[in-house]
Amino acid sequence: MAEFTVSLSRNSAEAVWGESAKLSFTESGAIIHLPDDKLNERLIQQAARKLDGLSLPAVTLSGDWHKEQQWAFALSFTRARKPASIKWAETADKEALEQEYSALLFTRQLVNETPEDLSPETLATRAAQWLKSLGGDKVTYSMTVGEDLKEQGWIGIYNVGRGSERPPAMLVLDYNPTGNADAPVDAVLVGKGITFDSGGYSIKSSEGMLDMKCDMGGAATVTGALGLSISQGSEKRIQLILCCAENLISGHAYKLGDVLTYKNGVTVEVVNTDAEGRLVLADGLMAATETGAPLIIDAATLTGAAVVALGSDYHGVFSLDDNAREQMLKAAKAENERFWPLPLEDFHAERCPSAFADTANSRPMKGGGGGGASNAAGFLSRFVKPEGWVHLDLAAAYHGGATSEMPVGATAKGIRSIARMLKDFSA
């Protein structure tokens, strides 16, 4: 079968394709017509969506493409089901694009997986096996599952996941290229891995539950970022902690009014079982802090409030450390990914008060009330050292429906920025 080639042109399309047409076809493929010398990523994305609608098995990018133009095409051309393969243009960026695209495919496929096939243990196992395939002997890991979580004091993950017949799991993975078991840990990535979120007894609507297979998007994103970092030859010691559970309803599920006592002594009243992500991340952040790493990044599809604030175009960035926040934003800008800072101050830790515990896990009102994303970040701040900590609320991780620029499903946006942050961060 002949190759279907896609090229760029600064010339206008022939009139037969319509007035101001941005896409035209030849015997061997298609031409995307750009109006000027700018990158025009949105225009390329829109053209890629139209081409993706043709259900092509493969395309070859030919001619003069900037790296970011190729990446924009890939983001939009890669459909959720049976994605076509992409052959990159013969440029100096080809190897880098192959590494990044491999991480994107893994991340998207994991998030798009049906929840029946992705239990908490399966999520942790697949993440570990993929990273092991990239890092070989430099990667070691352990999993704590079910009742062992309770015995070891990881009560957030345990309680959120105990309502399911499929037990919760905590993955701790160590990428250590130094060969020295006593080498300091340079960074820790923590991911929310809720493989399905019914909302628990604070049950979601059917429509609100439909896309909740994506609630492990944080775990997939940090795994994809670490895999990309390993592929890029990172020489830093980086740990990954995934907090995996199914949030379901049963006679064994956690309930509203329960008070959880964490390892660090903080007591938490459960006023909303659908504010479960912060409960599992609290365990991961405590474990990350124990390593003494100067950089801790957690990522989660945590709040609807972040989506209300940012839409599905940006990831929210929170930090009590100005230096860490600015470096995260700088990394995102360098990778041409949309990250945006949202407020977090010390007082946000007090914004979910409880008469029965040190704090509640939310406020007892729809969506957690005003400032819900900041209040969630404030809750997390109780469980992590503020220096070098960045919290990412992944509003742009998933699209419930296709748009003119993006396919339905997982986006994998953020993996490049996090990998860049791991490489460039200085305390």
**What domains does the chain contain, in order, with CATH numbers?**
5-92 (no CATH), 106-424 (3.40.630.10)
Burial class of residue 83 (count of CB atoms within 10 Å of its CB; 0-12, 13-18, 19+): middle
Q: How many CB atoms lie within 10 A of CB 257?
A: 10
Q: How far apart are CA 250 and CA 163, in angstroms?
A: 5
Tally of CB atoms within 10 A around 210: 11
Q: Which two tokens stand for residue 148?
A: 């062992």
Distance between CA atoms of residues 39 and 49, nearest Å: 17
In the prediction, which pLDDT does 1 show? Answer: 58
Distance between CA atoms of 325 and 389, rounded to whole angstroms? 8
Active-site annotation holds for 363: no
Gap between the Cα atoms of 202 and 137, Å rounded: 44
**Residue 204 known to be catalytic:** yes
Instruction: Count CA atoms closer than 13 A to 301's CA, side-chain side.
Output: 28
DSSP β-ladder status, 23-25 and 315-318:
unpaired
d(CA 59, CA 4): 5
Helix (H) or strand (E) segment spanning residue 300: strand 296-300
> What is the Cα–Cα distance from 267 to 355, expressed in whole angstroms?
11
C-alpha distances in Å from residue 291, one per residue of 64, 136, 172, 288, 382: 46, 22, 11, 6, 17
Q: Round to whole Å and give the CA distance between 389 and 97.
A: 29
Would you say the C-alpha torsion 310, 313, 319, 325 has a positive or negative sign? negative
Report d(CA 146, CA 274) in Å as an integer. Answer: 20
Mean pLDDT by 10 residues, the chain (427 residues): 91 93 96 96 98 96 97 97 95 97 98 98 98 98 98 98 98 98 98 98 96 98 98 98 98 98 98 98 98 98 96 97 98 98 98 98 90 97 98 98 96 98 96
CA angle 401, 405, 410 (to 5 degrees): 50
- Longest CA–CA span in the chain (Å) reads 72
Please say whether the beta carbons of 223 and 107 come within 8 A.
yes
* Rounded CA separation 103/100 (Å): 5
Q: What are the beta bridge partners of residue 294?
A: none
Active-site annotation holder among 204, 263, 338, 385: 204
245 conformational bin, left if phi > 0, alpha if psi -120 to 50, beta if neither: beta
pLDDT of residue 292: 98
Given the residues 192, 236, 237, 278, the one annotated as active site: 278
> Distance between CA atoms of 208 and 375, rounded to whole angstroms?
22
Q: Which residue has 């990831």 as its token pair? A: 315
